């Protein structure tokens, strides 16, 4: 028999940001929460979702559900990414570079969470522009979406060196 909990255990869920939001109404203030979630299977799939609800637990569940709907498949080359990429999203600018095996994840908080959830073991990165975690997460997802798979049959780097 198919169990729904087994399917959910294959994903690594991380809460990136919890924001308390309030709205002025005629009867007073209405309090709510928005939660940014990063979900990945550590096998080249990762997604991000923003859940909003009156309580934190519901917002986390909504965010995780939205992130699972919007999964992105990341092309990998062994344990790293196929090429370097620089992406701008709003005020955030993210630079991702492939790293040699064994160097690990060299990344800040927001980029590290997304990259580790995607299952990338060796990468070097730099966040430029903003310290806003949500924007940095979205910029990283955009960069991973734009990666092109490494061409088959190319054994070595074909760039000229002088």
Beta bridge partners of 51: 35
Q: Which residue has the higher pLDDT, 155 or 77?
A: 77
**Quick one: average pLDDT of 114-129?**
93
The answer to which of 63-67, 77-81, 88-92 has the lowest mean pLDDT is 77-81
Q: Is the pLDDT of residue 124 over 50?
A: yes
Residues 6+ apart with CB under 8 A from 141: 46, 47, 48, 72, 114
Residues 6+ apart with CB under 8 A from 31: 20, 21, 22, 54
Cα–Cα dist 123/143, whole Å: 13
Q: What is the pLDDT of residue 10?
A: 83
Residue 4 pLDDT grade (very low, low, confident, very high; cuts 50, 70, 90):
very low
Closest CA to 66 of 28, 32, 93, 39: 39
Cα–Cα dist 61/70, whole Å: 14
Q: What is the pLDDT of residue 2?
A: 43
């Amino acid at each position: 028999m198919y169990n729904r909990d087994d399917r959910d255990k294959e994903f690594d869920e991380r809460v990136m940001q919890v924001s308390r939001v309030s709205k002025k109404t005629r009867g007073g203030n209405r309090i709510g929460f928005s939660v940014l979630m990063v979900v990945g299977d550590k096998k080249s799939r990762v997604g991000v979702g923003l859940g909003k609800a009156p309580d934190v637990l519901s917002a986390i569940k909504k965010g995780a559900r939205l992130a699972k709907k919007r999964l992105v498949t990341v092309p990998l080359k062994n344990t790293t990414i196929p090429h370097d990429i620089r992406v701008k999203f709003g005020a955030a600018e993210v630079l991702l570079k492939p790293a040699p095996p064994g160097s690990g994840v060299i990344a800040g908080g927001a980029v590290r969470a997304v990259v580790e959830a995607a299952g990338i073991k060796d990468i070097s990165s730099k966040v430029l522009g903003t310290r806003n975690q949500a924007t940095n997460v979205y910029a990283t997802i955009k960069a991973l979406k734009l990666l092109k798979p490494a061409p088959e049959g190319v054994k070595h780097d074909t760039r000229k060196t002088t």
